[in-house]
Chain A
Amino acid sequence: MVTNPIEKELTKPVVAPTPPKVATVAAATDVGTRNVAIKVENFSLFYGSFRAIADVQMDIREREITAIIGPSGCGKSTLLRSINRMNDLIPGVHTEGNIVLNTQSVYGDNTDTVLLRKRIGMVFQRPNPFPMSIFDNVAYGPKLHGMRDHKKLSEIVQRSLEQAALWDEVKDKMKQSGLSLSGGQQQRLCIARTIAVQPEVILMDEPASALDPISTLKVEDLMRELRASYTIVIVTHNMQQAARVSDMTAFMLGNTNLEDRSGRLVEYSPTSEIFTQPKDKRTEEYITGRFG
């Protein structure tokens, strides 16, 4: 770790206080070479007449972890929830611009949100296992999407739980309620539940903010494992977390003047760069802890 050039960079007393250390090893090497999975095209979202996010433009590449950071109220969760159209549930929301998942337009006139959400899974801030058994929680998606064969379902459940690094802890109590697990286990159960429907993208909305530090590390390890097969977009409050797990980091900021508080994308760069040589003054101020 100490031989990592980024680490050395950080030991120089350039910017005080010390920005979070970047520990992703595999990440930095292949950044920028993968295909684009999600294209956010000039996207704005309004709650009624209030523009919550304005003109966001970014390409999210497949099988990378993209972190969205920024202070509270900057619209980072709103942007994340726009990708699978979870914001549709809120009355009075409308959008401008578009988001494209591979070739599928997310905000097209004929977009089937049900099919879309099958392809874009989501893990929420607070673990939200369904009030049913551990097995049924994971089997839920495949079952309702038409899988009837119990043997195949069992295989999917086991594979998903293994991928979510939860199998060993729950394999002897599959019939117990998902709610009987600890918070960290519940969150991994929710990740398993998401993996079970085999999405292309997994959105994570501050997935570790309700967890203790050990559970947080487990979830982060898990994210790095999942990176091999899934495109992951994570919103986090925690800059160390973004630095630890992500390949790319997007920094968002709501304008502070009162006429326009819309959240905008300030800077979007490889994680190794944004935490060491931020291009924008505001990014630097945020990551060095001067505000937020």
Chain B
Amino acid sequence: MNARTTDRIATGVIWAFSVGIVGLLASFLLYLLVKGVSHISWHFLTAAPSITAGGGIGPELWNSFYLLLLTMVITIPLGLGAGVYMSEFAPANKVTEGIRLATETLASLPSIIVGLFGLLLFVQTFHFGFSVLAGALALTVFNLPIIERVTENSIRAVPQGLREGSLALGMTRWQSIRTVIIPAAIPGLITGIILTAGRIFGEAAALLFTAGQSSSSLNWGDISIWNATSPLALNRPAETLAVHIWKINSEGLVPDFRQIADGASAVLIVSVLIFNVAARYLGRQLYKRITAT
């Protein structure tokens, strides 16, 4: 077989694989949307679940976003800090090798294990109960190692020339990191944060036993972080959309549990989609603002 034929075959095979994967994903997405979209209404998105037919997913949808926000508020500063340290300051020795190994292991931990760990530590030992706080902390355990790795890798990918250029002008390490290296790493950081955000939004197993599988009906006028009916409360149980889908599918008693699961799945997928597009757009704007490109 000559090189040209091999090339054609290889190209064909690669092309077929790509089309196959994209096709699979597209049909999956289409299936979810077609089955689910017809159940989506304003009432469905805002009302609380009911014991009869016609319940909504309002609190669950809110809980998903609230937990995502809280988790990001905790993990981004910690992960950025750790990532900057590991890429810029940490000496190459046994300790940092150990940290890296630990981070990698933590990042590949099955999420149900993270959930059970959260149950033992946050829910029971710290007496947080099934709560927003316990859920957010479990998600932090789940998310932190990935944000750390993403930060470390995007900062390492910044060309050495930029680092040297800044130091050669008499900048301190921190000045050069703050003004040149982090801005140059922003596209990588944004991509990493978006990817982990999607994972958090769809996560169920880590939350089953931490944020809990129920949600109190919420009083939207309340902004306290302690009242059980406040949407912002940290100490109330908070079933998320993904947990709700799992639960209603496996043990739902309402007659329309199928439709609710379908609708909720479509909402989940669309939310992740909107979130990704918006975050990408914001990331690009931010990078443009900083770098003037």
Does any Cβ of A come within 8 Å of B221's Cβ? no
Total interface residues on A, CB under 8 Å, equals 35
Contact of B292 among A126, A136, A197 (CB under 8 A): A136
Residue of A nearest to B293 (CB): A177
Task: Assess A176 versus B292: contact at CB under 8 Å? Given A128-B159, A131-B183.
Answer: yes
Determine whether the beta carbon of A128 is less than 8 Å from that of B161: yes
Question: From residue A140, how far is it (CB to closest CB) to chain B in Å?
Answer: 7
Contact of B170 among A114, A129, A175 (CB under 8 A): A114
Contacts of A89 in B (CB 8 A): 163-164, 167
Determine whether the beta carbon of A194 is less than 8 Å from that of B169: yes
Task: Assess A180 versus B293: contact at CB under 8 Å? Given A128-B159, A128-B161.
Answer: yes
Question: From residue A246, how far is it (CB to closest CB) to chain B in Å?
Answer: 21
Contact of A133 among B169, B170, B292 (CB under 8 A): B292
Q: Which of A38-46, A56-64, A117-125, A220-228 contacts B (4 or more CB under 8 A)?
A: A117-125
Q: Mark B279-293, 1 if CB is under 8 A from A, else 0.
A: 000000000001111
Contact of A140 among B161, B169, B290 (CB under 8 A): B169
Determine whether the beta carbon of B292 is less than 8 Å from that of A132: yes
Determine whether the beta carbon of B162 is less than 8 Å from that of A141: no
Contacts of B163 in A (CB 8 A): 89
Task: Assess A190 versus B165: contact at CB under 8 Å? Given A132-B183, A177-B291.
Answer: yes
Tell me the complex Cα distance, A130–B172, Å. 16
Determine whether the beta carbon of A86 is less than 8 Å from that of B168: yes
Interface residues on B, range: 20 to 34
Task: Assess A118 versus B164: contact at CB under 8 Å? Given A131-B293, A176-B292, A177-B293.
Answer: no
Determine whether the beta carbon of A128 is less than 8 Å from that of B164: yes
Question: From residue B284, how far is it (CB to closest CB) to chain A in Å?
Answer: 13
Does any Cβ of B come within 8 Å of A28's Cβ? no
Determine whether the beta carbon of A117 is less than 8 Å from that of B170: yes
Determine whether the beta carbon of A117 is less than 8 Å from that of B169: yes
Contacts of B172 in A (CB 8 A): 114
Does any Cβ of B come within 8 Å of A115's Cβ? yes
Residue of B nearest to A119 (CB): B170
Contacts of B51 in A (CB 8 A): none
Contacts of A170 in B (CB 8 A): none
Does any Cβ of A come within 8 Å of B18's Cβ? no
Does any Cβ of B come within 8 Å of A151's Cβ? no
Contacts of B170 in A (CB 8 A): 114-119, 141, 145, 197
Does any Cβ of B come within 8 Å of A5's Cβ? no
Does any Cβ of A come within 8 Å of B179's Cβ? yes
Question: From residue A101, how far is it (CB to closest CB) to chain B in Å?
Answer: 13
Tell me the complex Cα distance, A183–B238, Å. 56
Determine whether the beta carbon of A132 is less than 8 Å from that of B291: yes
Tell me the complex Cα distance, A124–B163, Å. 12
Contacts of A140 in B (CB 8 A): 166, 169, 179
Determine whether the beta carbon of B164 is less than 8 Å from that of A131: no
Tell me the complex Cα distance, A194–B180, Å. 16
Residue of A nearest to B178 (CB): A144
Does any Cβ of A come within 8 Å of B223's Cβ? no
- Interface hits, A184-223 → B, CB 8 Å: 190, 193-194, 197
Determine whether the beta carbon of A130 is less than 8 Å from that of B168: no
Determine whether the beta carbon of A91 is less than 8 Å from that of B92: yes
By CB atoms of chain A within 10 A, which of B92, B161, B162 has the most?
B161
Determine whether the beta carbon of B184 is less than 8 Å from that of A131: yes
Task: Assess A126 versus B169: contact at CB under 8 Å? Given A131-B183, A132-B290, A133-B292.
Answer: no
Determine whether the beta carbon of B167 is less than 8 Å from that of A86: yes
Tell me the complex Cα distance, A126–B161, Å. 8
Tell me the complex Cα distance, A132–B289, Å. 9
Residue of A nearest to B161 (CB): A128
Tell me the complex Cα distance, A91–B89, Å. 12
Across the A-B interface, give the 8 residue pairs with the lowest CB-CB distance, nearest first. Answer: A118-B170, A133-B292, A128-B161, A122-B168, A131-B291, A177-B293, A117-B170, A128-B165
Which residue numbers of B lie inside 8 Å of A, CB to CB? 91-92, 159, 161-172, 175, 179-180, 183-184, 290-293
A-B contact pairs, 22 of them (CB 8 A): A114-B172, A116-B170, A117-B167, A117-B169, A118-B169, A119-B170, A124-B165, A124-B168, A128-B165, A130-B165, A130-B166, A130-B180, A132-B183, A141-B170, A144-B169, A145-B170, A175-B292, A177-B292, A178-B292, A179-B291, A180-B293, A197-B169
- Known: A140-B166, A176-B292; 15 extra A-B contacts, CB below 8 A, are A89-B167, A91-B91, A117-B168, A117-B170, A119-B170, A124-B164, A131-B162, A131-B180, A132-B290, A133-B292, A141-B169, A175-B292, A193-B165, A193-B169, A197-B170
